[in-house]
Amino acid sequence: MTKKRPGMNIGAAVLFAFFGLLFFVLIVRIVTIQVTGEAEGKALASQAAKKYIKSGILEAKRGTIYDEKGEVISEDTSAYTLVAILDSSITSDPKNPKHVTDPDKTASVLSKYIDLSKSEIYERLTIEGDPFQVEFGSAGRDLTHQLMQKISKEELPGITFRKESKRFYPNGTFASHLIGFAQKETLDNGNTKTIGKMGIEKSLNEFLSGTDGKIQYKSDVWGYLLPNTEEHVTPPKNGNDVYLTINKKIQTFLEEAMNEVARDYKPKKMFAIVADPKTGKILAMAERPTFHPDTREGLDGNWRNMIVEDTYEPGSTFKSFSLAAAVDSGVFDPNGYYESGTYDVLGTLIRDHNYGNGWGTITYLEGVQRSSNVAFAKLLEKIGEEEFKDYLERFGFGETTDVGLPNEASGKILYHYPIEKVTTIFGQGTTVTPLQMIQAETAIANDGKMMKPYVIDKIVDSNSDKVVKQTKPEVAGNPISAEAAKKVREYLATTVTSDVGTGRPFAIEGYDVAGKSGTAQIPGENGQYMYGRENYLFSFIGMAPKDDPQLIVYVGVQQPELPVTEIGSVPVSKVFNPVMQNSLKYLNIKPEKKVDLKKLEMSDLSGEKVSEAVENLQKKGLEPVIIGNGSTIKKQLPAAGEEVLEGEKVMLRTEGQLTVPDMKGWSVRDVFKVASVANLKLNKVGNGYVSSQNLRPNSPVKENELLVVNFKAPDAPEEKPIENESMPQD
């Protein structure tokens, strides 16, 4: 029998003691955990919950922005992000792989659908470091449902999609600076949220943003929902919906017209507003340069909403309110006369826009029609400097309109020195915003009641359909009386209908337009006014129909590239005219019945006495023009038997010494009549209407003598600087 060695007993004793102690510690640890429910200072229940209780974010829908008719302008929509799974461990069945198995083929197919080359996609699919998955940057984000389906049909292993919401602007470039845009941002807690970054999206972000919900449930170790497990759901609260005053149809008219002018004339800047003068609602608003809110293409060129945030010198459109002040204060006599040309302000000459030549002694109404700076300078004397400033303040200039848009500018009434007071009355020096001009114009259009402009109609809780906020029309003041407003509309209408009116390009068939054009100077980088035929802000503010205005349209085009045959009012009219006409028809404002001018057949006046011929022609509504100093008619134009329209000029050449009439303001057609009936050689210079002639009116001339006539558009600005003199503005 083998005898046990003493060392073996000692070793067995040590092992027994060691395992006994280990067992004791384990028992103590188990008892401690059972009693305290904690391990290493952490609650085991919470750790188990973290492992087996899963939670997720239920994303709230951002509020939708609608136009006044309920048409969608901005909304949340589903978008997809393209994801490629690269980790092979996710594949359990090699016959049905869940990861990318053929990077070359996958890259080739995907390059057909997203804006990345095959090589760029392949590089991402074979990236070093063994990532679980990769994405494809901006090219793989914001994919439409249709595109996602097309890629899915390719059945590429490992290619999947992550669904999320995206802000969508279905109308593209559409009041972009007003609407602004919103985009997703990653918050501090790692979640993403759509945030307004500009325009209405930013200023009403608090209303549009919703509150995300949450879902919580128990899962197994692999993350799957356990059967018969209760889900805890906190539903999301969607954002409020915003209804604007913008009318989608009218806004579309405006965008299309501005696109054409931007393409054809390439102006540095351009803005336009359409408003309802009865309520102050802004029905359309646009500017150039602009941007696409989905892609943000073009945003680098212009972040500012110039209609709200920028100020400028308005030019002669401002004379609308100067005229209103003169009429309301009772000092405007349309039939009163004044000497046009120049006006001295303590040594500084104010000049009319035809190089200070003026048009001789004319009526104040003709001064308004011709946009005479001198006429308005003289009206300031009649109104009184302090009373005129009071009118400017009553019209809201120098103060914001509180339209509810961020960063609204107030402009400034420049009215310290005598020259500033005079230049202000015809729109130079004092600065305004387009919204201030619209607000002031509502007083003229709305029988003296000036309406506060607004763009937010109402805000509605999308969860309950309860109106959270409602904007109602608000009278901002009564700067002039109803009687004065009606008279001002009549006078402004003549700038469009008169042969010498600067507003003639803005006449619209079927509707009487009342308004005022402007050619405003632009300060250069050195603070001095710029010169050159294109370096102006050309504009027109008008309303229609004249007797009961339903719309106001204000258009400004800065520094367009003009053909030599066109003037600045042409691109302005290419926005104003179609927008006004189409919008009135859309609103079912029926055109006035066209009144056809009476047609007459010319009788033979040869041999008749001049006095008798003149009397007979005037009775028929024709305008006789005597060419010569004789007493008997020798020749006439139009000739006997020809048809003439009521109001047409009839040239009557007499026997005796030949003379020519004063043709200032005449059309080309009438000048040709004079040259033909007098047998003169005509040299025509320029376009538009007669500004000067070489042959002195009513002085003797001879047949075959050269008649040089300069034509110029009434609103064509002076091009050369004149030292120590106010530059002209029409």
The residues carrying an active-site annotation are 316
49, 50, 217, 224, 414 from 220: Cα distances, Å: 11, 12, 10, 5, 76
Q: In sequence order, what are the residues at sequence separation of 6 or more whose Cβ sits closer than 8 angstroms to the Cβ of residue 223? A: 54
The residue among 580, 584, 546, 538 whose CA lies nearest residue 562 is 538
Q: In sequence order, what are the residues at sequence separation of 6 or more whose Cβ sits closer than 8 angstroms to the Cβ of residue 17? A: none
- State the Cα–Cα distance between residues 31 and 24, nearest whole angstrom: 11
Strand, helix or coil at 489? helix
561, 564, 565 from 570: Cα distances, Å: 11, 12, 10
Amino acid at 107: A
Q: Are 606 and 629 in contact (CB under 8 A)?
A: no
- State the Cα–Cα distance between residues 228 and 598, nearest whole angstrom: 91
Can you tell me which residue has the tokens 């899962």? 219
Amino acid at 693: Q
Q: In sequence order, what are the residues at sequence separation of 6 or more whose Cβ sits closer than 8 angstroms to the Cβ of residue 178? A: 199, 200, 246, 285, 305, 307, 405, 455
- State the Cα–Cα distance between residues 677 and 669, nearest whole angstrom: 13
3-state helix, strand, coil in the chain (%, to 5): 30, 25, 40
Which residues lie across from 135 on neighbouring strands? 83
> CA-CA-CA-CA torsion for 87, 93, 97, 102, nearest 10 degrees?
80
Residue 160 backbone phi and psi in degrees, to 5: -140, 180
Residues in the chain: 730
Q: Are 248 and 274 in contact (CB under 8 A)?
A: no
107, 157, 160 from 83: Cα distances, Å: 13, 11, 5
The residue among 155, 121, 158 whose CA lies nearest residue 137 is 121
Q: Are 529 and 727 in contact (CB under 8 A)?
A: yes
76, 79, 179, 195, 201 from 198: Cα distances, Å: 16, 22, 8, 9, 6
Residue 665: half-sphere exposure toward Cβ, Cα within 13 Å: 15
> For strand 348-351 and strand 599-601, is the pairing parallel, antiparallel, or unpaired?
unpaired
Which residues lie across from 43 on neighbouring strands? 38
DSSP designation for 318: G
The residue among 669, 682, 674, 671 whose CA lies nearest residue 658 is 674
Q: In sequence order, what are the residues at sequence separation of 6 or more whose Cβ sits closer than 8 angstroms to the Cβ of residue 154? A: 109
Buried b (16+ CB within 10 A) or exposed e, 73-106: bbbbeebbbbebbbeeeebeeeeebbbbeebeeb
The residue among 559, 511, 514 whose CA lies nearest residue 540 is 514
Residue 83 backbone phi and psi in degrees, to 5: -130, 140
Amino acid at 400: T
